Structure 1
């Protein structure tokens, strides 16, 4: 063994040459541990520097974990993996150790306490060393800021869903609610913990939602009108001022669904007969029941032309096609009186059919499309 001519300052034994795996730079301060002999060095050597205890803060409501200075959604019910991760980050390995390997075995003491049994091995000064440590981990269940805000009823915007000249249907209310929940959930999935719906109320006249931010409220209103038609308007109300004197506003978004619905039969005031509504996106579009021609409301009328409501496609009944009189008329059986009636022949009518769907209203008896794909256009 190569001798250095130096002696251990603790026991006086001559020591070998310092390890060559950590070359010292000129002028660098010499590590006091490096001048000790192996016997004295290993007397006080610790392979692992472990904390006495680790506390994992989790939200009792949503399961988020507090890391650093923020709450992070982890989607975990069992926090053992989280405990292993935090113990791993807290442990320190001696700088002189090489070829370090380790394994950890968690011991679940109870719901809120875990013991982490960690075993380490490595090589120091050419000598294999092992060490075992036990780190207690306590699960501290608290309430994160997001859940605190929800519980406290915090919100920045209100979205109200109504319909023009009528009450929204149960289906429309359900669809609007689903659209809002899916949109907010998508924002939350991107990591935004400010994305949530504080309160949802279904009313006879529509739907009210309290939403966490103004931007989310506007996004919800926009997507509801994109999918269900109609329009929305906004208004703001001063709520308070922050510490810097900035004014904070609460926004209200009023969604107005169209006066008419897809599948509704209306009679516009133009004298050309009833229309089956097939689209409420932008200007109202539909099909004339007398001719089968396409109808579109004027720009000024938008999605709400003046018209008489006659019913819905679902109100139609199948009846017998008695005869084809000519290119403009056919005979069908009246589904109520079973009398043969002459009605207009729209171009979508299948003259080879035995039965056709009809709707009877104050405007008379009209043949409905049997399976008109144009009605499903957005």
Structure 2
């Protein structure tokens, strides 16, 4: 007959028999020799850009809205440098202050790690301290800004003329607004320079996407012609060719208020948008919308001013009798040549173009 005698299990370290055991240890003794997390390094060096306070983290440069955001961003990213069970829960319990007057500022991050994967034990928590040393440097974006380099250039030109002051201010403000809106999400959305060149403007953008957005906004604002050209600038370490992109956007020669020759009559430009050019007849005030804006040019032959006296109006022939105040010669002109009724006895300055008379704007 075999008699089985019960054996009480006990902790191999402290001998306790009244506590749950795991691998022959109670919880207090087990955690003396084991840990759920530890840093892969006790001091971690992080590069901070001295120009924009961007932070070089493991996944690349991160750009923040304020220098005060740097410690918190590093604390979140530095979790990657903790060696812990994937099921462990990590909390940031404290982020130390940064003394920016120090050439190499330092601060500590305190993490609390907890897990509950050993069924025999209660949930376990540990604290891990990670020291951060900030090293000052400069990011690639700021290097590009300071050197004035750009991945994309937008050349804004007007056909056969120089941009006026109003246009220069308008389009410069438009480009800067686009850059400002995108900089918070993309640090390469900068404009390194705006140069007045060949009667137009050259905008130097940090990336192609911002330059393309500027072109799109121009196309939504005014009619124009776009060209896109590529230029090989270098090859990267893998032998891949790197190109810079130059956009050319050419706006019309004409401007609101310009007189033009349209169907052999004088018209003037009233408005230009992204679909057509609005013009108005100087004869009868009739309006037209012209989509073929390239066919519209400013007058090459300037109308001549002449002084006339309105002598009379003949209602039978629907004409005015006008006398030239220089030669005193008279001639009959159809009332249909003028968009408004002329006052008899008045002296007028008319425009003469291709043997026809027009009221000035």
Using the size of structure 2 for normalisation, the TM-score is: 0.65
Structure 1 residues 272, 156: CA separation in 2 closer, same or farther (over 3 Å shift)? same
- Which runs of structure 2 are paired with 1:322-333 in the superposition (5 Å)? none
Matched residue, 2:56 = 66
SS in 2 for 1:146: helix
Structure 1 residues 93, 234: CA separation in 2 closer, same or farther (over 3 Å shift)? closer
Matched residue, 1:321 = none
Matched residue, 1:277 = 270
Q: Specify every segment of 5 or more residues in structure 1 that has no aligned partner in the other structure, as ranges.
A: 20-32, 312-323, 331-341, 350-357, 369-378
* Aligned-residue offset at 1:5: 3.2
**Over residues 278-333 of structure 1, what are the superposed CA-to-partner deviations in whole Å (9 max), with x where a residue is unaligned?**
2254553211233120134584x63523525979xxxxxxxxxxxx999x999xxx
Matched residue, 1:371 = none
* Aligned-residue offset at 1:170: 1.7
Asked if 2 retains the 8 angstrom alpha-carbon contact of 1:297 and 1:303, the reply is no
CA distance in 1, matches of 2:262, 2:351: 16
Structure 1 residues 360, 81: CA separation in 2 closer, same or farther (over 3 Å shift)? farther
* Aligned-residue offset at 1:266: 0.2
Counterpart of 2:152 (choices 151, 157, 172) is: 157
CA distance in 1, matches of 2:86, 2:151: 52
- Relative to structure 2, which stretch is displaced further, 85-94 or 143-152? 85-94
Structure 1 residues 130, 238: CA separation in 2 closer, same or farther (over 3 Å shift)? closer
Does residue 1:41 correspond to 2:30, yes or no? Answer: yes
CA distance in 1, matches of 2:177, 2:51: 20
Counterpart of 1:172 (choices 167, 176, 186) is: 167
Matched residue, 1:260 = 254
* Aligned-residue offset at 1:244: 5.7
* Aligned-residue offset at 1:81: 2.2
CA RMSD, Structure 1 to Structure 2 (Å): 4.7
Matched residue, 2:137 = 142
**Over residues 126-145 of structure 1, what are the superposed CA-to-partner deviations in whole Å (9 max), with x where a residue is unaligned?**
67987665543333332223
- Which runs of structure 2 are paired with 1:280-299 in the superposition (5 Å)? 281-297=274-290, 299=292
CA distance in 1, matches of 2:182, 2:162: 30
* Aligned-residue offset at 1:225: 4.2
Structure 1 residues 360, 89: CA separation in 2 closer, same or farther (over 3 Å shift)? farther
Using the size of structure 1 for normalisation, the TM-score is: 0.63
Matched residue, 1:198 = 192
Matched residue, 1:302 = 294
Structure 1 residues 89, 180: CA separation in 2 closer, same or farther (over 3 Å shift)? same
CA distance in 1, matches of 2:222, 2:175: 12
Matched residue, 1:28 = none
